[in-house]
Amino acid sequence: MKRQILLVFVIVSSLFLGCEKAIDDPQANPFVTNPVDTSTNVNLDPYSIEGLHKNIFSLKCANPTCHDGTFEPDFRTVQSTYNTLVYQPVIKNNAQNSFVYRVVPGNLQASWLVERLTTNDPNLGRMPLYAPSLSYDELLWVYGWITDGAKDLNGNAATFPNTPPKVNYFVAYDAGNIRIDTNRQAGWSSPFIVNQGSTFSMLISVEDDSTSTPNLLLNQLKVSPLRDDFTTAQTLNAVFYSGKLWSVSINTTNFSANTQYYFRYYVKDDDNPVITEFPRDDIAYWYKENASFIIQ
């Protein structure tokens, strides 16, 4: 009986010793050669975009159906985080439309990100919506990154973009302030109909990343009977209307009846030599057809 007990003890001991040896063997235990990172701030400056992504954005914001690529800002990677924050336009603004960009390097007060992380406005909601608010230290990390120039992965401070102005859309109204660009000859990709002998106004929505809309330059509407040739087009000067809108008045007596006319808008800012043309030469023909009218 004693021999049997001793034998069982030796077998069980061998099993435990064998397991202990396997755990101690770095080749058998991947957690030894590839240790699990249990820290939220290992080898990363918490004031850097990498540190912010690791410690805040990827943990608290990149949740399913939130900032996981479903909508911007996109916090899935460090690169997408940076590219959708710095000098990127605000989509959902406050009631006063006080903010233009999500992050303005060096300017906490103008950065929408700071507002969203600290606001008490119940209509906006403090971010992150589905996680605890950022701690004092976490807010300091965000503040430090922005104040230091919102540097990228390579430690370069962000520079203000200077892209050509963008034409968003146009609308047309008759003298009675009734919209007429929705009354088209044959659907969206066809000219809108204008009454002969009338005067109508076109409002063009224009915006720029460096120049306010009232200070944009050129602002001309050219009208041509040829869809792809504006060399002999009539040129009409626009006047600033309000907000992001410029206005052009068109007297139909200056044009022939039953003729389709195409128009293009031209605008530039004071920093960029490139002139924005809308619609452009290289755009699909149906956009050019949409940007036309016929006098009947």
Residue 54 has what pLDDT?
85
C-alpha distances out from residue 77 to 74, 117, 135, 142, 184, Å: 8, 20, 22, 17, 46
- Is 166-295 assigned to CATH 2.60.40? yes
Which of 267, 269, 289, 263 has its CA nearest to residue 277?
267
Residue 163 has what pLDDT?
80
Q: 292-295 and 192-194 as β-strands: parallel, antiparallel, unpaired?
A: parallel
User: Which residues lie below 8 Å from residue 275, measured CB to CB, with a gap of 6+?
Assistant: 164, 218, 266, 267, 268
Structure tokens at 212: 């306010």
User: Which residues lie below 8 Å from residue 46, measured CB to CB, with a gap of 6+?
Assistant: 52, 55, 137, 141
C-alpha distances out from residue 209 to 35, 190, 218, 272, 286, Å: 46, 32, 17, 11, 28
Give pLDDT tens digits along the chain (296 positions). Answer: 434 433 333 333 333 333 322 323 333 332 233 333 333 445 688 888 898 888 888 766 655 556 655 566 888 888 888 988 898 888 888 888 888 889 999 999 999 999 988 888 887 777 877 777 788 999 999 999 999 999 998 898 888 777 889 899 999 999 999 999 999 999 999 999 999 999 999 999 999 887 889 999 999 999 999 999 999 999 999 999 999 999 999 999 999 999 999 999 999 998 878 899 999 888 888 999 999 999 98
| Contact assessment for residue 248 and residue 236, using Cβ atoms and an 8 Å cutoff | yes
Integer-rounded Cα radius of gyration of the chain:
31
User: Which residues lie below 8 Å from residue 115, measured CB to CB, with a gap of 6+?
Assistant: 94, 99, 124
Which of 149, 146, 147 has its CA nearest to residue 158?
149
Residue 26 has what pLDDT?
31
| Contact assessment for residue 117 and residue 88, using Cβ atoms and an 8 Å cutoff | no
**Residue 169 and residue 25: Cα distance in Å, rounded?**
68
Query: What pTM was estimated for this model as a whole?
Result: 0.53
Which of 57, 44, 54, 51 has its CA nearest to residue 84?
57
Residue 279 has what pLDDT?
93
Domain ranges of the chain: 49-147, 166-295
Which of 169, 172, 221, 177 has its CA nearest to residue 192?
172
Given its phi and psi angles, is residue 187 left (phi above 0), alpha (psi -120 to 50 degrees) or beta?
Answer: left
Of all helices (H) and strands (E), which one includes residue 200?
Answer: strand 199-207
